[in-house]
Amino acid sequence: MKGKGHFRSGHSSWRSSAVSASSRGGASGGSRRRWALLSPHSAAQQVFVLQLLIVLLLVAGGVTALVVQANRGSEREAERLSLAAAEMFANAPGTAEALTGPRPTAVLQPRAEAAWRRAGVDFVLVMDTRGIRLTYPDPRQIGKKFVGTIRPALEGGTVVERAGGPPLPTGTGTAVQAVVPVRAPDGSVVGLVSAGITVENVGDLVDRQLPIILGTGAAALVLSTTGTALVSRRLRRQTHGLGPAEMTRMYEHHDAVLHAVREGVLIVDADGQVLLANDEARRLLDLPEDAERRRVPDLGLDADTARLLASGEPVTDAVRLAGDRLLAVNKRPTAPYGGQAGSVVTLRDTTELAAVSGRAEVARERLKLLYDAGMRVGTTLDVTRTAEELADVSVPQFADVVTVELLDAVLRGEEPSAEATGMRRAAVVGREGDRSLFPVGEAVPAEPADRLTARLVEGAQAAPDHDLHSLVVVPMRARGALLGAAKFWRAGGSPAFEEEDKSFAEELAARAAVAIDNARRYTREHTMAVTLQRSLLPRGVPEQNALDVAHRYLPAAGVGGDWFDVIPLSGTRVALVVGDVVGHGLHAAATMGRLRTAVHNFSTLDLAPEELLDRLDELVARIDADEAAADERDGTGITGATCLYAVYDPVSGRVSAATAGHPGPAVVDPDGTVTFPRLPVSPPLGLGAGLPFESAELTLAEGSRLVLYTDGLIEDRARDLDAGLDALRVALTGPDRGPEETCARVIDAMLPDHPTDDIVLLVARTRRLGPANVAEWDVPRDPAAVGRVRNACARRLAEWGLEEMGFATELILSELITNAIRYGGEPISVRLLHDTSLICEVADGSSTSPHLRRAKTTDEGGRGLFLVARYAERWGTRYTAAGKVIWTEQPLRDGVVEPGGSAEDLLDQWPDEPL
């Protein structure tokens, strides 16, 4: 029971020290003690406050309970008095006769006043069976409706309730009232009597009892407080004014010093007697069990150590040999902190300090190198650069020369295979940064992945030609796959590698392998995404004469969802499209491709901009719904995409544009003035708002520049929308700039240092198709007009030098005009456009579109559209607000007519069979 004896001895020592500390210092110490006893932080004072609060709560609770009980008793008394008074008056002789008499009020009013005064209630009133007052203390209220419940009383019962009513001479407000029936001799109810006392007067009954209740509570509080004060005073004397935290801390520290501290602690008084010795001091000095209360010379220590401990002189880091241990001794006097005079001695074992300090320094350097590797390796997502970072961080702290060799598949970003053995040197770093020791990029034969393990190579097997005498080869693996190998050499006077160095090299290579694998996977995914995006974006601008177009696409994070398009339409018109899909990566690129394809498909229908966006919005909503139903959405969908669709007509110079949550275009006039036309506001695609899209039209002068862009150009973290538009206005202002020059100037002025969003810029300079290249005729609804229009068209073709196209064009116009006259509606018109192709347009007021079919042998008609499709390169239908337009295109190349069909070619379509 060694520990228990030590604890009791130590406890008494520490307690005496605490008592001494509280009383030291003469008069000054006594003053501090008195303040400590009065301190609210002492344990005694806290107990006093807690007991006082409990007493206050108990007294307050008792007083409250008495008040509530008295209040309830008063209310019950009021109910009893009200019911007794009402029954007494109802059963009084003459009450029933007066109610059935001719003048009940005159008879009963005096009786009622006398009754409520005698009974000690505030009112007694009589009412008929309808609840009309016949008596009341205030005569003005007679004849009015009674306030309260009377149905139970009419049925022969009694009612006791709280109810309001008119003012009374004795009080106002809610009253405790009773309602009883007045019975005739035959038992029928002929009237009702109510008596009651106001709540205000009921409270007066309680108020008369309050002095007694409060006096009793005050007396109890005084007696309890006096007893609590006496107990607290006694407790203060026992604890010497210490607070609970101080007392708990004192005992906790006492146990910690005795048993947990890994330094020896001795307390020795002025006479050399040991007052306290903890477990570590007993172990270091090999003290006997009864060391406490014994003198230091009697403990069996060597003379020098005993003299040092028994002396009263302070000592700092004195080294003493105790057995086979080397101890560092520190000694300080206890005064003025420990009460009685003495010394505190601390002992520290420094035997293993020298050996441990050497190993600790090596471990510290290794940890620092691993930390540096974690900070410097993998700063980029480039495979080769990551390998170079591993070599850089290892030289010269760990090795003199480092090479990193990776599989060819890893360098290309592909998945490494277990069968691959060919490696290529990706990084070399020699002494003083020399990279010429081994050629970078050289093919290196490697062992199979299952046989390549970490190993040490010494002497001639290393690389003696380069003065390299020690080598560590470490495979680099990530996710169970071999990526390559790292080789660490030491040369000259550097010590050879040991087993611990091999383990460290494996840790270093493992960390680098994870970074290289991340870079490899990023390279693969980035290559895939870039390839996908390049295949989805337009490869170039299609050939057309309506617009001179230039564009820029700048992704912010490798692969984005922004796109643009230039789509030739019928009638020499051109559609300009700019869209933005929220997010980056493969999902955004794939979504962009789907939307771009949909826009292309919808544009072939020659839809108006608002109709095209409406169909695109329906498509996006349907795709989102399908993906949600199939649980294929990995947290993101197409919802949130924006699009701007504009159609330019070079014949009229008009632009029709609609937007789905996308920034509107900018227009630069030929004189250099910049405007931002307002387009009707519409939500982004796929939000399911159900609102129709709207478009706006504007007319552009020839040479104007139409600028479309995404929000990444005008918005970033340091610039809001208004500031971005102002900067764009400044960059666009100025005449005589082509689209390419405009793109370059805008990107130079607007591109932020660190873009956070993709940027698309599309600049189109307008051209006009001159009147000399346009011919129009109005056609009356008369079959005879077909020949006149056909002849006029032939003359215009001759003026344009297109006589060779006359036969095919006349055939096409004849079929289309005849169909319009026969099946269409007025007005009917014909238009020829001479551009890169010859365009024929026949418009009518009908919305019925013809369909191409192959006529049967027995059919007399149905071959007209077949002939049109045979002689035209393209044809189609475009709907307008007034009807439809059937158009055809016949190709021209550099103004030269391409070989077309002749009459003989047409006749050759049918075999020469006898009819």
CA atoms within 13 A on the CB side of 83: 13
Which pLDDT does position 582 carry in this prediction? 81
Which of 350, 363, 288 has the alpha carbon at shortest distance from 324?
A: 350
Q: Are 672 and 735 in contact (CB under 8 A)?
A: yes
Which pLDDT does position 12 carry in this prediction? 40
Q: Are 424 and 460 in contact (CB under 8 A)?
A: no
E-strand spans in 408-454? 422-429, 443-445
- How does pLDDT run across 403-413, given as a tens digit for each residue? 999 998 898 88
Which pLDDT does position 239 carry in this prediction? 65
Which pLDDT does position 204 carry in this prediction? 59
Q: Where are the alpha helices (DSSP H) in 733-827?
A: 739-750, 785-799, 806-823
Which pLDDT does position 515 carry in this prediction? 92
* Alpha carbon distance 84, 108 (integer Å): 18
Residue carrying structure tokens 């990530």: 478
Residue carrying structure tokens 């006997």: 288
CA R_g for the chain: 54
* Alpha carbon distance 77, 79 (integer Å): 5
* Alpha carbon distance 130, 478 (integer Å): 98
Whether this model's pTM surpasses 0.75: no
Distances (CA, A) of 571 to 248, 647, 808, 835, 839: 96, 11, 19, 10, 7
Distances (CA, A) of 630 to 588, 625, 627: 19, 9, 5
Residues 6 or more apart whose Cβ sits within 8 Å of residue 149? 159, 161, 163, 179
Taking the chain (915 residues) in consecutive chunks of 10 residues, what is each chunk's mean pLDDT? 38 40 41 45 68 78 74 78 85 85 86 82 87 86 86 86 74 79 87 82 61 75 76 68 69 71 81 82 82 82 82 81 79 73 82 64 81 87 91 88 90 81 86 67 76 74 68 90 90 86 90 92 80 75 90 78 91 93 78 89 92 91 74 54 94 94 94 93 80 91 94 84 91 90 92 83 93 91 87 91 87 87 88 91 85 60 72 87 89 58 49 43
* Alpha carbon distance 236, 35 (integer Å): 12
Q: Are 900 and 805 in contact (CB under 8 A)?
A: yes
Which pLDDT does position 907 carry in this prediction? 46
